[in-house]
Amino acid sequence: MPETIVLDRALTWQEIAAVAKGAAISLPDKTWQRIAAARAVVDALVEKRVRGYGINTGVGALCDVIVDIPEQQALSRNILLSHACGVGEPLGREETRAVMAAQIANFAHGYSGVRIETVETLLALLNADILPVIPSKGSVGYLTHAAAIGIVLIGEGEARHEGTLVSGRQALEKLGRAPLVLGAKEGLSLVNGTPCATGLASLALARAAHLAGWADAAAAMSYENLGAQADPFAAAPLALRTSPGLRTVGENLRRLLAGSPLLAQSAGSRTQDPLSLRAVPQVHGAVRDSLAQVADVVSRELASVTDNPIVAGTPESPEVHSQAHAVGAALGLAMDALGIAAAELAAISERRIDRLVNPLVSGLPAFLAEGSGVASGFMIIQYTAAALVAENRRLAAPASLDGGITSALQEDILTHATPAADKALAILTNLETVLAIEVMAAAQAYDMQPGAGGKAVGTRTLYDRVRGVVPIYRDDQPLNGLVTVVRDFLRTTDVGM
C-alpha cells in the first residue's frame, strides 16, 4: 500500500515530492470544514451580489464586465475550456502528481471557495493515479497547466491511467463519478495560484538534493583516481569558512576517502590540485547552501494562500480580496537559482571527467581505453558531457526576467515561475547524465590503476555498486546504453551517505 500523507497542515516540499512518486493524500474533517466554510462565503457573495473578480465578473482585461447569477456556471466552464490551450509534450507522471498535490494543498487552506465535491474529485483522480494530460508548454505562469487538470473534472480533456489514454469523461467513470457542473468562482480557482510552479519546484528540490549526494560520491571517486592531496578536505581548515554546505561536503569526502591507499601513495606529490578537485567542498557546498535557500522559499509558498481573489469572513459578512497572491515571483527567482546551482554541479563534474580521460594529466591509459588506438574508450562520451554542460548554460538564463505583456495590458508584468521550474528540471536531467558519465569513468579508472594502491572502504562500496549494474567498457557496445543504465541507477538509488 502506498504511503498516505494527511493534509492537516501545510505540506512540505518533501511531502509533495513523495506524492509525486506515488504517496496518497487524505484530508481530515477539519480541512474539509475549512473548504466548506470558504464555499459558504462564495455563495453569500453571489447571493448578495458583492462584486468579486471571477465570481461575478469576467477575468483578465474583462474584470469590469459583470456576469449575473444565471451565467456564472457558464463562466466557470468557459474559463477552463478557453484556458486549456497548452502545447507540447505532456508532463511526466511525477510532475503531474506534484502539481495536483500542490493544487489540493492550496485549496485546503480554506480561502479559495471551491466546493467539497470539486476537491474530492481532484483528490480521487490523484489517489487512483488517473492523471490529466498536461501539455508542458504555453504558460507564462500557471493558467494552461492548471486548466488541463480542471477540464478533466468537467469530463473534457484527456487523462492517462496505467499507460492508457482515456477521455476526461472516461476518467471520471473509472471513479464512478459524473462530470462536475462548476459553481461560481470554481473555474477561476481551478486555473489560479502557484500550485503548478510549487509542485514542480518541490520535485526539482527533491531531485537536486538527491543528486547533490551523488555529486559528492562521484567527486570522491575521481579525486582518489587522480592521486590528489587530502589536505583540501581537512576539517580544521574547512571550518574557517562559514558554510553549512561546505561542512557537509567535507564530511562526506572525508568519510568516503578515509584510509585510502591510493591517496596515501600520492601524498606530497604536488603542492596543490586543480580547482575541479581542490574546490569540491567550496563549489558543492555553495550548491547545497543555495538549495537550502530555495527550500525556504518553496516551504513558504506551500504555507501560503496563492489564489486570487481570496475569500474570507462569514456568510453573514462575506469578504473578497483581489490581490496578487497568484504571482509567483519568489518561485521564479528561486527556480532560476536552483537551475544555476545544478548547472554548476554539472560543470565541475565535466571538468573532472576530462581529467580522468586525459592522459596528459591522469597518469592513466588515454581515454580509459583498453588497447592503444584500436579502442576510443571514453573519448567521445566526454564530448557528450561537455555538450550537456553547454546546454545547461543556455538553460540557466533567468526565466524570471523574461517579462511580457498579456491580457490587453491588464497583466503587464510576468514572472514565469512555471517555466523557471520546468527548465530547472531540464537542467537536473542533464546533471543526472553528466554524473552518470563521471561515475562510469571513475569506475573504469579504478580498473586501470597501475601498482598496488587500493580504494578506500567508502569508494570501494561505490565502485562495487556501479559494477553491479555495468561492466568495464571495452568498446564492445554503444556506450550511451550503459550511460542510461547508470543514470537510471543514480536516479532511483540513494547514495547512502
DSSP 214-239: HHHHHHHHHHHHTT--SGGG-HHHHT
Longest dimension (CA), the chain: 86
> If we measure between CA atoms, which residue out of 419, 416, 439, 438 comes closest to residue 427?
419
Lowest mean pLDDT among 189-203, 398-412, 442-456: 398-412
Domains of the chain by range and CATH? 4-192 (1.10.275.10), 201-492 (1.20.200.10)
Residue 220 bridge partners (DSSP) = none
409 pLDDT more than 60: no
Task: For the chain, give the mean pLDDT.
Answer: 93
Q: What local confidence, expressed as pLDDT, does residue 408 receive?
A: 60
Q: What is the pLDDT of residue 401?
A: 86
DSSP-based three-state secondary structure for 66: strand
pLDDT number for residue 103 = 97
Supply the DSSP string of 286-339, one letter for each residue.
HHHHHHHHHHHHHHHHHTS---SSEEEE-SSSEEEE---TT--HHHHHHHHHHH
CB atoms closer than 10 angstroms to residue 201: 34
6, containing H or E segment: strand 4-6
Residue 497 to residue 483: CA distance in whole angstroms: 23
DSSP 179: P
Residue type, position 51, single letter: R
The pLDDT score that the predictor gives to residue 232 is 73
Instruction: Name the amino acid, one letter, at 475.
Output: D
Q: How far apart are CA 467 and CA 425, in angstroms?
A: 28
- Quote the CA–CA distance of 277 and 181 in Å, as a whole number: 61
Residue 247: pLDDT above 80?
Answer: yes
The phi, psi pair for 179, rounded to 5°, reads -55, 140
Span 471-485, pLDDT tens digits: 999 998 999 999 999
Read off the pLDDT of residues 3-20 as tens digits, 9 standing for 90 and up: 999 999 999 999 999 999
- Which of 179, 182, 183 lies closest to 154 in space, CA to CA? 179
Residue (of 481, 372, 369, 472) closest to 433 by Cα position: 481
The alpha carbon of 56 is separated from its chain's Cα centroid by a whole number of angstroms, namely 36
Contacts of 227 (CB under 8 A, 6+ apart): 262, 263, 265, 266, 269, 363
The C-alpha cell at 487 is 543514470
Most confident of 116-125, 317-326, 402-411: 116-125
Q: pTM of the entire structure?
A: 0.95
Q: Side chain identity at 153, as an amino acid letter?
A: L
pLDDT of residue 128: 98
Whether the per-residue pLDDT at 412 is higher than 80: the answer is no
Given a contact cutoff of 8 angstroms between Cβ atoms, the answer to whether 350 and 386 are in contact is: yes
pLDDT-wise least confident of 30-34, 299-303, 307-311: 307-311
Among residues 367, 383, 385, 375, the alpha carbon closest in space to that of 438 is found at 385
In terms of DSSP H, where are the helices of 375-416? Answer: 379-395
pLDDT confidence of residue 328: 86
Distance CA 54, CA 58 (A): 6
Alpha helices in 49-92 (DSSP H): 72-83
Residue 367: per-residue pLDDT: 94
| Residue 451 DSSP symbol | S
pLDDT at residue 410, rounded to an integer: 66
3-state secondary structure of 150: helix
Would you state the pLDDT for residue 391? 98
Task: Check whether the bond before 309 is cis (ω within 30° of 0).
Answer: yes
Show which residues are catalytic: 53
pLDDT in tens, 97-153: 999 999 999 999 999 999 999 999 999 999 999 999 999 998 876 789 999 999 999
Task: Please report the DSSP string for 92-140 in residue order.
Answer: -HHHHHHHHHHHHHHHHTS-S---HHHHHHHHHHHHTT-EE--EEES-S
Q: Tell which residue, 404, 364, 387, has the closest CA to residue 138.
A: 404
> pLDDT tens across 172-225, in order?
999 999 999 999 999 999 999 899 999 999 999 999 999 999 999 999 999 999
| Structure confidence by residue, pLDDT tens digits, 59-75 | 766 777 777 788 888 88
How many angstroms separate the CA atoms of 54 and 62, rounded?
A: 9
pLDDT at 122: 98
